[in-house]
Amino acid sequence: MRPIIAVTTDTIPDPSVNTKPNTVDIAPTMFKDTILQAGGVPIIIPYPSHPGLIDEMIAAYLPLFDGLLLPGGPDVDPTLYGEQPSQAIGETNPPRDQFELALIRATHAARKPMFGLCRGSHILNVAFGGTLYQDLATQNPAALRHLQRTSGEYPTHHVNIAANSRLQRQIGATAYVNSRHHQAVRTVGRGMRVAATALDGTIEAFESIDDDLVLGLQWHPENLWATAPEQLNIYHDFIQRTLAHRIHRQAAAPPATEQVAAEQAG
């Protein structure tokens, strides 16, 4: 059975002529298609409008999925990593930040794999105590152009993959990638190691050191695999890890009859 992959959402205005004001919770189609292509089944999990519901929603969501995918979106609130907003900070979404931080911690505690892309890698890094560049161009003027003007399905710069990283086993020592970000990981969080860098030194990927539960990626393989099939290997590996961890959890769980008896005795 295919593993279930939860995809968090963003909220955008809906230009409906019938309902005003109105917003919609969305996740890009490219994530749905790539998860399916790689062997998983996606489900979309929106964040609550009221922060008081975060814990309740996460408790309901967590049993439903085997792995968590955190897609791109707005900037991460810099106060979450100990900074005040600079003049170059972009739009933020505090309710989404708070929900995703809590969800990441709960998912990690449940030993379920997580995959963050672009903004998703940023909030994943912050959850483990890492920091970000609020705006790469102003804070590191020597950096390459990372917010490409070319359409997103085209690669624009190269990255070097760290030797002996899990990521290197998927795509090799170098990759030609797309780049649609103005923020970036500055220091990696606790228990993480750098897995890829751009030629200007910008961190392009990180992964957990002591297990295979965390991968953060700055680029978008979901836009590239149609012409660069090796990029799909990153998703294949994520799906296979979620399946392996599900099988492990099922093997470790007590038989249903024992669980019912324990609940009745309790």
Which candidate in 157, 182, 220, 245 is catalytic? 220
Which alpha helices (H) appear in the chain, and where do they start and end?
Answer: 29-38, 54-61, 94-109, 119-127, 136-139, 166-171, 232-252, 256-265
Catalytic, 230? Answer: no
Bridge partners (DSSP) listed for residue 4 = 41
Report the alpha-carbon distance of residue 67 to residue 242 in Å, rounded: 5
Report the alpha-carbon distance of residue 44 to residue 161 in Å, rounded: 31
Answer whether the bond into residue 85 is a cis peptide, omega within 30°. Answer: no
Structure-block tokens of residue 28:
């890009």
The CB-side HSE value for 63 (13 A sphere, CA atoms) comes to 3
Phi, psi of 167 (to 5 degrees): -60, -35
Catalytic, 245? Answer: no
* Amino acid symbol at 215: L
Cα angle vertex 138, ends 137, 144, to 5°? 20
* Amino acid symbol at 186: R
Structure-block tokens of residue 81:
């990593």
Report the alpha-carbon distance of residue 154 to residue 16 in Å, rounded: 32
Which candidate in 100, 108, 118, 204 is catalytic? 118
Which candidate in 108, 122, 222, 245 is catalytic? 222
The four Cα atoms 97, 203, 110, 106 give a dihedral, to 10 degrees, of -20
Catalytic, 248? Answer: no
Catalytic (active-site) positions: 118, 220, 222
